Amino acid sequence: MAIKIALPKGRLQNPTSHLLENAGWKLDEYNASGRLYHLKSAVFPDLRGKILHEKDIPVQVAIGNYDMGICSRDWIEELLAKYPTSSIIKIKDLGYGYGSLFMVGSAPFSVKGTVRITSEYPNLAEKFALQKRFGRFAIFPVWGAAEAYLPESAELALISQTEESKPLPGIVPSQRVLDYGACLIANRDSWESKNLFNLVSSLVAANVTETSVSPIDMKTTQPTDITDLKGKMRLALPDGHQQSHTLKLLNKAGIQIEDYPSPTGNRRPIIGIEGVSVKVIRPQDMPLQVANGNFDAAITGKDWLTNHLYQFPNSPVQELVDLKLGWVRIVAAVSHEVPGTTIGDVRSWAAQRAAPLRIATEYTNIADRYARDKRIGPYRVIPTWGATEAFIPDDADLLIENTETGSTLARHNLKIVDTLFESTACLIGRIGVEPDKQALIDTITRLLSQAV
């Protein structure tokens, strides 16, 4: 009987690779440079490995797609905070990949009015708020940079700190919430019904390091100068690989900006327009942050704007100008093994199966709407955090993903059955901002329009 294990990519991949090497598993493709997601062992012929984003691993093990998994315990606790009856057994702390979760603020915290908490761990943040009996609170799930929202847009942020984390300026740890490290987990049913003895014993024998979790200390520095942002128009710019495109466009539009991208990780670059303040956050998070008034305008992708508007149809966010950068298509793709070439063919194929169609995607609201619009019978949306193409065909049937050339999809034996829409970067703003801020938004809109 095949035994499936989900292995982490990212920061845990190297130490996990060493552990498996010492355990004699001979998963040769599992190394830091490997681009293959499907792994086989030269020693355990029944073992099937797959490389996933570590955040996806607890969910995938809990729903039984994998018998075992290795991931960081913070993501296990995040799942269990919302779904305590998940079918997961924590087998062993593995003694590496340490980190700690801290609830932080930018000043000593006191409960007053609505407490806004940003975090990549919304379930743990909600649990914290309930335990602390905050009368009124709002949780903002973010894809990253949770601390960047302090203090103007959130009172608290639940953030992860690892040995590699850079010091955070002006952050005040309020409470240590969790110390974590890499952990071996198993699906409860698999643990009860499958013979995992050889795999587990080889890991235990190889894992001779100290296995108690070492807490990480919070690294902070003195606050940078936070000018009074009251009355200023707040603009969000993207972090990550979109920074260079955005910088070029700003330069072309004649808009000066200092320290963006920042080599020190500064998320508050200085823009050369009086009355405008800038923060650097994840483009995925921008539409929600503009909608709730934390920002007045932002540069993000149409894909994320659409995903937001499908979740909140009455949202006050709108596209102001198409920046015609970073063109991608949002497509529906399936394995080549699925018959047909259109979504209609996929629907007919799915209708003959007993199980619901599994749709893996980062764009959960777009996928949900698409499945409804296309009258796909019973379906399940599986949220992913990257490497979505790895889910097909074992763990998902249909993918909703962005692609530029389609080459990544082709490399994973996938074919496109539909194009939902095309997406480019755009400037977004909120309907109903104050007139003085609106004037600044209009200026930026005009300058960027001329530069496109």
Partner 1 sequence: MKLQKSKGARDMSIKDMTAFRFVEGTFRDSCLKWGYGEIRTPTIENLYLFTSAGTLTPESLNRVYSFLDWDGWSGERVVLRPDGTIPVARMYIESGKKDLARLFYVTNIFAFESSGKENRERWQCGCELIGAASSLADTELISLSLEVLKRTIPHDIEVSLSHAGLVKALLAKLGISPDEQAQAFDQLMDGKTDLPVPAAHRPEAADTLLSLLTLKGQSSGFVKNLKALIGAQLPEIMPHLDDFIGLITSLEEIGIKCRIDIPSGGGFEYYTGAMFQLFAGGEKVGGGGRYDMLIPSMGGGNISASGFALYLDRIMNMIKPDSVITSESVLVVNHDKDQKRAYETATELRQAGYNATIQLDNEKNCTWTLDIQSNGQYFLEGKGLKAEAGTMAEVMKCLGGQFGH
Nearer to partner 1, 162 or 311 (CB): 311
The answer to whether 302 and 272 have CB atoms below 8 angstroms apart is no
Query: What is the bridge-based pairing of β-strands 156-162 and 276-281?
Result: unpaired
From the CA atom positions of the chain, what is the Rg in Å? 23
HSE value, Cβ hemisphere, 13 Å, CA-based, for 414: 28
CB atoms inside a 10 Å sphere around CB 33? 6
The answer to whether 371 and 359 have CB atoms below 8 angstroms apart is yes
List residues bridging with 426 in a β-sheet: 300, 322
Nearer to partner 1, 291 or 444 (CB): 291
Nearer to partner 1, 259 or 319 (CB): 319
* Residue 153 CB burial class (10 angstroms; 0-12, 13-18, ≥19): buried
The answer to whether 144 and 120 have CB atoms below 8 angstroms apart is yes
Task: For tokens 């600044």, name the residue.
Answer: 440
Nearer to partner 1, 50 or 430 (CB): 430
Nearer to partner 1, 80 or 409 (CB): 80
Nearer to partner 1, 182 or 288 (CB): 288
Nearer to partner 1, 149 or 260 (CB): 149
Minimum CB distance to partner 1, residue 143 (Å): 15
The beta-strand segments (E) located in 66-105 are 68-72, 88-93, 99-105
Minimum CB distance to partner 1, residue 309 (Å): 10
Cis ω for the linkage preceding 261 (within 30 of 0): yes
Nearer to partner 1, 116 or 232 (CB): 116
The answer to whether 159 and 267 have CB atoms below 8 angstroms apart is no
Nearer to partner 1, 177 or 331 (CB): 177
Minimum CB distance to partner 1, residue 116 (Å): 7
Minimum CB distance to partner 1, residue 296 (Å): 14
* Residue 212 CB burial class (10 angstroms; 0-12, 13-18, ≥19): exposed
Q: For the chain, give me the number of helices (H) and strands (E)? A: 13, 25
Nearest to 392 by CA among 373, 375, 376, 415: 415
Rounded CA gap, 270 and 184, in Å?
45
Minimum CB distance to partner 1, residue 153 (Å): 11
Nearer to partner 1, 320 or 328 (CB): 320
Return the SS3 of 181.
coil
CB atoms inside a 10 Å sphere around CB 95? 19
Q: Report the interface residues with partner 1, using CB under 8 A.
A: 84-85, 114, 116, 127, 129-131, 133-140, 288, 291-292, 308, 311-315, 354-356, 377-378
Tell me the one-letter amino acid at 445. T
Minimum CB distance to partner 1, residue 355 (Å): 7
Task: For tokens 């997961």, name the residue.
Answer: 88
Nearer to partner 1, 70 or 357 (CB): 357
Minimum CB distance to partner 1, residue 220 (Å): 26
Which residues fall within 8 angstroms of residue 349, CB to CB, at 6 or more apart?
Answer: 338, 339, 340
DSSP state of 217: P
Minimum CB distance to partner 1, residue 311 (Å): 8
Minimum CB distance to partner 1, residue 202 (Å): 34
Minimum CB distance to partner 1, residue 149 (Å): 11
Minimum CB distance to partner 1, residue 69 (Å): 22
